[in-house]
Amino acid sequence: MFGKSFALPVCFQRNCPTDQSYIGYQKAAVRLALAISLFAIDSMASLSAAPLPKWAESPKVEQVNSLPLREAILRSFGRSPAIEQAAAQAGIGKAQIDEAKSAWLPQVGLNGAAGQSKQTDSNGTLRNSASYGITLSQLVYDFGKTNNNIKQQQTLSASYHYNLLNVMTEVGEKTTLAYLQVKRYQALCSAVETNIRSLDNVKSMAALRADAGLSSSSDVLQAESRIAAMRATLEQYKAELETAKSQLAVLTGIRADILPDFPEQLLEQPISLNDINYQNNPQVQSAQSQQNAASYGVKNAQSQYWPTLSLQAGRTRYETDNHAYWNDQMQLSVEAPIYQGGATSARIKQAEGARRAAESQVNQAKMDINQRAATAFANWNGAREREEAGQQQFTSAVTARDVYKNEYKLSKRSLNDLLTVEQDVHQAAVAQLSADFDGWNSSVSYAAAVDNLLPLLDIVRKHQDDLPNL
């Protein structure tokens, strides 16, 4: 059997001797391989049937009938990881304030030790086997160390809060632009469908004239070719529309059949580059709070040159070989740095550098806002002018189309002329739609730059520290 088992690979040759024992061995090997395969399949099936961990689950998307813009933004707030992270950072800032304030509260602790220790004085040697007790420490005065640290943490916490408001505006802008993108492609699809219906009417006229022998049958083919091209354009716009809907669904967690019209307040907002309120802009306020925190950091570093006064008390029980006794302590402790190798001076220089860097961030925030607002304002003006020109072009093209139709019926115009003016009407309609939605995009970008987007959509705060209910 060992010889036959060793010769298994060569026994697949044509002239291999076959005996009953070897055939039985082959059948056993096949059955073993089949059993192993079935076991592996069952194991893989059981693994695939196991529930996924929570972090591996895909985000849920809900199907609804209608989704207004305000609701879309609020749903984006509850779904955005950026807002969740900024909110968590704001919570950390509040906890840091509590930690800084705790330095003024009494510090109570327990202590204990076991093992041999000895104390030697003029009266002899005292051996201790264990000790335990309680200690109390109360800060009395530290020349501004703790107060500056508290103020620094308070201003940092304020910067985290303003950053949260700024992130909310960014998420709102992104959601609004995605909402606009869906509306844009819906309007473009509608414009193409209108053009296809108009081309169908042209095709019907061409067919009637061809049947009457007034024109060639190639006119019908030419109209059909133009209709086919527009249907291809329609399918392209539909694909873009599905992409835009998917992007909005990712942001909101909602896939809606109907998106109501935009609120007109976005177009009625006052736009002026010379009167931007930087003082109440969260982006500038966050940078200003960082600068204030850096200033308190400088003061805190400078206060490290001064001593720290604290009251320390304690009561400790010592267990000795002969008897036990209590050791009571009540002292005013003074800690003053004499020389630290230049560490305090280095910390002051670092804090001053951080303050100058934070000051530059305030100016950078103002420049960013001004640049975004100026760009949006220029784009808005350009869109308004293009929309007016598109309206005039559309009116002129519609008039020319009506004239060309009558002239085509009288055989004074060719079908190619009529199809060309149909194309002019469609291009004018598309240009007008594009200018209109470009104007909406610009108004949204301007409102977001000056922190006016959420109030215009009735997502407002009663007080500066209030957040909308998510």
Q: What is the rounded CA–CA span in Å between residue 298 and residue 200?
A: 77
CA-based end-to-end distance of the chain: 77
Q: What token pair was written down for 406?
A: 């009558």
Does residue 22 sit in the same domain as residue 99?
no
Predicted local distance difference test score (pLDDT) of residue 275? 76
Handedness of CA 304, 309, 315, 321 (dihedral sign): positive
Identify the band that residue 8 occupies on the pLDDT scale cut at 50, 70 and 90: very low
Task: Determine the average pLDDT of the residues in 6-34.
Answer: 51
Nearest C-alpha neighbor of 285 from the set 351, 218, 358, 379 = 358
Distance in angstroms (rounded) separating the CA atoms of residues 93 and 151: 12
Residues 86 and 7 in one domain: no
- For residue 85, being part of any structural domain is answered with yes
Question: Residue for token digits 């059997």?
Answer: 1
Residues 6 or more apart whose CB falls under 8 angstroms from that of 110 comprise 132, 133, 134, 135
Q: Are both 44 and 147 inside the same structural domain?
A: no
Residue 205 lies in a domain: yes
Q: Kindly state whether residues 398 and 364 are assigned to the same domain.
A: yes
Examine the domain organization and report whether 30 and 162 are in the same domain.
no
Q: What is the pLDDT averaged over residues 165-174?
A: 94
β-bridge mates for residue 309, sequence order = 141, 334
Is residue 88, in this structure, part of any structural domain at all? yes
Q: Is residue 234 in a domain?
A: yes
The whole-number average pLDDT for the span 210-234 is: 87
Confidence band of 227 (pLDDT split at 50, 70, 90): very high
Q: Tell me if 391 is assigned to some domain.
A: yes
pLDDT tens digit sequence for 187-202? 999 999 999 999 999 8
Exposure on the CB side of residue 5, measured as CA atoms within 13 A: 5
Q: Which of the four pLDDT bands, split at 50, 70 and 90, describes residue 320?
A: confident
42 lies in the same domain as 82: no
Indicate whether 298 and 251 sit together in one domain. Answer: yes
> Distances in Å between the alpha carbon of 228 and those of 192, 194, 225, 258?
12, 14, 5, 28
User: Average pLDDT of 351-364?
Assistant: 91
Of 287, 351, 349, nearest to 155 by C-alpha is: 287
Amino acid 43: pLDDT: 57
Do 298 and 177 belong to one domain? yes
Q: What is the mean pLDDT of residues 457-462?
A: 70
- Residue 87 in any domain: the answer is yes
* Sequence-distant (≥ 6) Cβ neighbours of residue 221 within 8 angstroms: none
* Confidence band of 463 (pLDDT split at 50, 70, 90): very low
**pLDDT beyond 90 at 123:** no
pLDDT band at 435 (very low <50, low <70, confident <90, very high): very high
Residue 468 main-chain phi, psi, to 5 deg: -65, 150
The CATH number of the domain where 391 resides is what?
Answer: 1.20.1600.10
Residues 74-77: contacts with CB within 8 Å, 24+ apart? 74/459, 74/468, 74/470, 75/252, 75/253, 75/254, 76/171, 76/172, 76/174, 76/175, 76/251, 76/252, 77/168, 77/171, 77/172, 77/468, 77/470
Are residues 376 and 294 part of one domain?
yes
Going by C-alpha positions, the residue among 111, 105, 104 that lies closest to residue 314 is 111
CA distance 409 to 212: 12
| Residue-number span of the structural domain to which 42 is assigned | 2-49
User: Do residues 377 and 273 both lie within one domain?
Assistant: yes
Instruction: Write out pLDDT tens, residues 270-295.
Output: 777 777 888 889 999 999 999 999 99
Q: What is the pLDDT of residue 12?
A: 40
- Helices 145-211 and 343-409 meet at what angle, rounded to 10? 10
- 215 and 91 in one domain? yes
Categorize the per-residue pLDDT at 101 as very low, low, confident or very high, splitting at 50, 70 and 90: very high
CB 136 within 8 A of CB 55: no
Domain count, the chain: 2
Question: Does 9 have pLDDT greater than 50?
Answer: no
Q: Would 39 be classed as within a structural domain? A: yes
Q: What average pLDDT is seen over the chain? A: 84
- Comparing 118 with 346, which gets the higher pLDDT? 346
Percent of the chain with pLDDT over 70: 84
In this structure, the number of other CB atoms found within 10 A of the CB of residue 66 comes to: 11
**Predicted TM-score of the model (pTM):** 0.79
In-domain check, residue 334: no
Query: Are 43 and 70 contained in the same domain?
Result: no
Mean pLDDT of 362-390: 91
